[in-house]
Amino acid sequence: MKPPKSFAILTQNNSNTKQLVENLLKNRLVNGLNELQPLNGLLFSRSEINRYMDEEERHDIKILTKESDQPLKTMSSGEQKKALLNHLLQQNPDFMVLVNPFDNLDVATQAKLKEQLLSIASNRILVQLVSRLGDILPVTTHFFKLDGDSLHQYDSPDTFWNENNTETFNFNGTIPLPLSPIEVEGIELVSFKNVSVSFDGRQVLNQINWTIRKGEFWQIIGPNGSGKSTLLSMITGDSHKGYGQDLTIFGQKKGSGESVWELKQKIGYYTPAITNKFRGYHSLENMIISGLHDSIGLYVQPTDSEKHLAHEWLNLLNLKDRKEDHFRDLTVGEKRLVMVARAMVKHPPLLILDEPTAGLDDASANLFVALVNKIAKESDTAIVFVSHRKEPQLNPEYIYELRPSETGSKGIKLIS
């Protein structure tokens, strides 16, 4: 028996994914996907998991976890997606719409999900909406690209792949110098010595030994639940688990009376969730300058030297002519570039990037990675880049891998 068709739709940061998904699931006519109109389809996406999580928390209605005592919100991303997929298959849909199915999953969990989806594709129509070319299943038979609301169908797989293979990006100019350098004594910025962490009696980290020195470029990897977020939160001062441990940050032993505020002034930090805090009408110029004042918005009159520095950063990002544009009007990829410039404007001794490319399309991710590589090469700032996804263009010097065990995750240093 011939396997059913499998569709791949490459999305970009400007794609109206939500509307297309709604049209498919409500049996509205979509050119190129006409045969799906009379069929019953279901959605596999992060938004669906959030919807079921909301039902569970607000109304104590368990749908995905009715056979388990564990709340959905306490599950890892992999467990949540497994529960959703099983629930959808029990309803026996004619087709399934998959929206970035591999996002927020570690490598091993991605491999397991891919194997399961390939099995499903042998007897059920799949419609993949993905922002990364590498996420497209190899059984795909029909290829599309969603540009805004416009869905373009390709005549052949070769045409699709040839047109959409992304290039390597480079920035003109050099990283702007800070107005006043932040001095840190010694070369060691962070030092963990036999640090162990438990939550509710469960060991998460087991005797972590890790040192970050000035100017080093690290990538942290490890499966979901291995303790990456716990590790970061001890560095930033957002977790009390560092107290009483042999943990030294910027020359001060944790718990020796250090100020969390002073600590944060020496760390540039970015994760995509931070972007949502800037919902007002902030100009790009003010966004960069606000990084000098560690404020959400600019509430002081900027000096000429601050304006000049902001212009240098915007010029580097090819956004100089848009300095008066509102941050909220940028694309997702452009926003993240500006946020990294904001985090780097003071040249902090340490820059932490937590899943910074999650949800970006290939072109935007490559541009973001090019900027990070440039910062690592042209500044003395140490970088810690955390990501589930292996970004092929990223050039870290070292990798710190967390390997889980029954007694908590051990840390292994690898040379990139």
Chain centroid, CA 167 distance in Å: 21
**pLDDT, tens only, 92-127:** 999 999 999 998 888 888 999 999 999 999 999 999
Confidence at residue 168, expressed as pLDDT on a 0 to 100 scale = 64
Confidence at residue 401, expressed as pLDDT on a 0 to 100 scale = 94
pTM for this model (two decimals) = 0.85
pLDDT mean across residues, the chain:
90
Express as a percent the part of the chain with pLDDT over 90.
63
User: 77-90 and 46-59 helices cross at what angle (nearest 10)?
Assistant: 90
Residue 364, pLDDT > 80, answer yes
Confidence at residue 297, expressed as pLDDT on a 0 to 100 scale = 67
Confidence at residue 127, expressed as pLDDT on a 0 to 100 scale = 98
Pairing outcome for strands 398-403 and 382-386? unpaired
> 355 — alpha (psi -120 to 50), left (phi > 0) or beta?
left
Confidence at residue 287, expressed as pLDDT on a 0 to 100 scale = 93
Dihedral pair phi/psi, residue 273, rounded to 5°: -65, -25
Residue 304, pLDDT > 80, answer yes
Confidence at residue 150, expressed as pLDDT on a 0 to 100 scale = 95
Mean pLDDT of 16-39: 95
Dihedral pair phi/psi, residue 332, rounded to 5°: -60, -45
Gap between the Cα atoms of 253 and 249, Å rounded:
6
Confidence at residue 245, expressed as pLDDT on a 0 to 100 scale = 84
Confidence at residue 206, expressed as pLDDT on a 0 to 100 scale = 93
Gap between the Cα atoms of 377 and 395, Å rounded:
10
Mean pLDDT of 285-298: 85
Residue 1, pLDDT > 70, answer no
Residue 134, pLDDT > 80, answer yes
Mean pLDDT of 70-84: 85
Confidence at residue 199, expressed as pLDDT on a 0 to 100 scale = 82
Q: For residue 110, how many other CB atoms are within 10 A of its CB?
A: 19
User: 77-90 and 107-120 helices cross at what angle (nearest 10)?
Assistant: 10
**pLDDT, tens only, 235-284:** 988 777 777 788 999 988 876 666 777 787 899 999 998 988 888 788 99
Confidence at residue 185, expressed as pLDDT on a 0 to 100 scale = 87
Residue 212, pLDDT > 80, answer yes
**pLDDT, tens only, 156-201:** 999 999 998 866 677 878 999 999 989 888 899 999 999 999 887 7
Confidence at residue 258, expressed as pLDDT on a 0 to 100 scale = 65
Mean pLDDT of 283-296: 88
Pairing outcome for strands 95-99 and 142-147? unpaired
Amino acid in position 186 = G
Q: Dihedral sign for Cα 145, 151, 152, 155, please.
A: positive
